[in-house]
Amino acid sequence: MIVTPVTELLGIRVPIVQGGMQWVGLPPLVAAVSNAGGLGILTALTQPSPAALRDAIRDTRKRTSKPFGVNITLLPTINPPDYEGYARAAVEEGVRVFETAGNSPGKLIKFFKDRGCLVIHKCTTIRHAKSAQRMGVDILSIDGFECAGHPGEEDVPGLVLLARAAEELKLPYIASGGIADSRGFAAALALGASGINMGTRFMCTVEAPIHQNIKEKIVASSEQDTEHIFRTLHNTARVFKNKVATEVVSIERRPGGAKFEDIRELVSGARGKQVYETGDPDRGIWSAGLSVGLIHDIPTCEELVSRMETKTEEIIQNMQKVVVRAKL
């Protein structure tokens, strides 16, 4: 058993949290992760409205009696979402765990804390983590540069960022970005984390509600197969390196740069969603982390979580033997 402040605070068996992925954080996956002993996370903005989020929460409850959470991410969007409406709907449906991420989260964090909820806040710098600590969050999710989606603009990979978190933070934190196996899990614990967050790895499970071709594409890919878009717009996102991502980057590199309007049609989330529906990896933009290089199969969530738990315990025991040998 890997017991940490995170398993105790969240009431889960294994300190593995599923990342709140756009178009992927739907009830079948969320319930499968929670039933496997981790914490599944529904992605609020994947639902077209707060009313649809209510339905998704009820659907998840039918599939699991275990705790699960809801993610709300505050980043630039083509159509501004009703963030407060989503937050209110989830709280009224009885959700008690929230993952917040993105820009200026203060109002949202206060909304949840005023209602007695537990907040995990995801951040990509120690400065933002300390600010979230002051806002009263319960757990930090420290997101290294390896991550899928938005790594921020300071480009600090997990090895250094997590060690800095150990030096600076008072609250328990989970490690996010670049983790897809037991080696990463054990390393995160060694770096002072009380658990891990995995997104891309959970896309490649039997229960992930995305087309089988995309799961197989991830298995066939290496750590060379991601790309950063939106660097020039200061909204960097790590996505799968496909024809659309390459085109976006070439438009951004034109003399004089690009405005968002020049790439809006290529990058829209509505188009990216079709990747997961049709199985065509070149249909639009889709998020993927460097951990694609570590993913070699498509297990059930139960198989994945229990394998990671067992192998991480083995690594920790073997590390103790290394330490003993080193002392002789």
Q: Please, which residue, 195 or 284, has the CB nearer to ligand NAD?
A: 284
Residue 251 neighbours by CB under 8 Å, 6+ apart: 258, 262, 263, 266
Contacts 24+ apart (CB under 8 A), 225-232: 225/288, 225/292, 225/293, 226/148, 226/288, 226/289, 226/290, 226/292, 229/263, 229/267, 229/285, 230/267, 232/257, 232/258
Q: Do 12 and 66 form a contact (C-beta atoms < 8 A)?
A: yes
Which region, judged by CB under 6 A, interacts with ligand NAD, from 3-11, 20-28, 82-90, 170-178?
20-28
When binding is defined by CB under 6 A, the residue of 7, 71, 133, 197 that contacts ligand NAD is 71
Figure out which of the listed residues 17, 21, 189, 288 binds ligand NAD, where binding follows CB under 6 A. 21
Place of tokens 């951040």: 123
Pick 73 or 312: Cβ nearer ligand NAD: 73
Measured from the CB atom, the residue of 189 and 229 that comes closer to ligand NAD is 229
- Cβ closer to ligand NAD: 13 or 241? 241
Of positions 75, 160, 166, 220, contacts ligand NAD by CB under 6 A: 75
Give, as ranges, the residues between 219 and 258 that touch ligand NAD (CB under 6 A).
230, 233, 235, 237
Which of 125, 232, 268, 300 lies at the binding interface for ligand NAD (CB under 6 A)?
A: 268
- Supply 85's token pair: 């409406």
Of the listed pieces 14-22, 51-59, 111-119, 158-166, which binds ligand NAD according to CB under 6 A? 14-22
- Among residues 18, 22, 60, 100, which is the contact residue for ligand NAD, using CB under 6 A? 22
Query: With binding defined as CB under 6 A, does residue 50 bind ligand NAD?
Result: no
- Map residue 46 onto helix, strand or coil: helix
Q: Which residue is nearest to ligand NAD (CB)?
A: 269
Q: Does 45 interact with ligand NAD (rule: CB under 6 A)?
A: yes
Residues 6+ apart with CB under 8 A from 183: 315
Instruction: State in angstroms the smallest separation of the CB of 182 from ligand NAD.
Output: 24
Complex with ligand NAD: residue 270 or 319, whichever CB lies closer: 270
260 belongs to the binding site for ligand NAD (CB under 6 A): yes
Binding ligand NAD (rule: CB under 6 A), the pick from 269, 279, 293, 299 is 269
Yes or no: say if 237 and 229 are a contact pair by the CB < 8 Å rule: yes
Whether 257 contacts 234, CB under 8 Å: no
At closest approach, how far in Å is the CB of 213 from ligand NAD? Answer: 20
- By the 8 A CB rule, do 288 and 200 touch? yes
Q: Which is nearer to ligand NAD, 76 or 257 (CB)?
A: 76
Residues in the chain, overall count: 328
Q: Look at residues 78, 100, 75 and name the one whose alpha carbon lies nearest to residue 87.
A: 100
Residues 280-309 that bind ligand NAD (CB under 6 A): 287
Binders in 123-152 for ligand NAD, by CB under 6 A: 149
Q: Which helix (H) or strand (E) holds 167?
A: helix 158-168
Q: Which of 25, 17, 202 is nearest to 97 (CA)?
A: 17
**Distance separating alpha carbons of residues 167 and 164, to the nearest angstrom:** 5
Q: Rule CB under 6 A: which residues touch ligand NAD?
A: 20-22, 43, 45, 71, 73, 75-78, 149, 230, 233, 235, 237, 260, 267-269, 272, 287
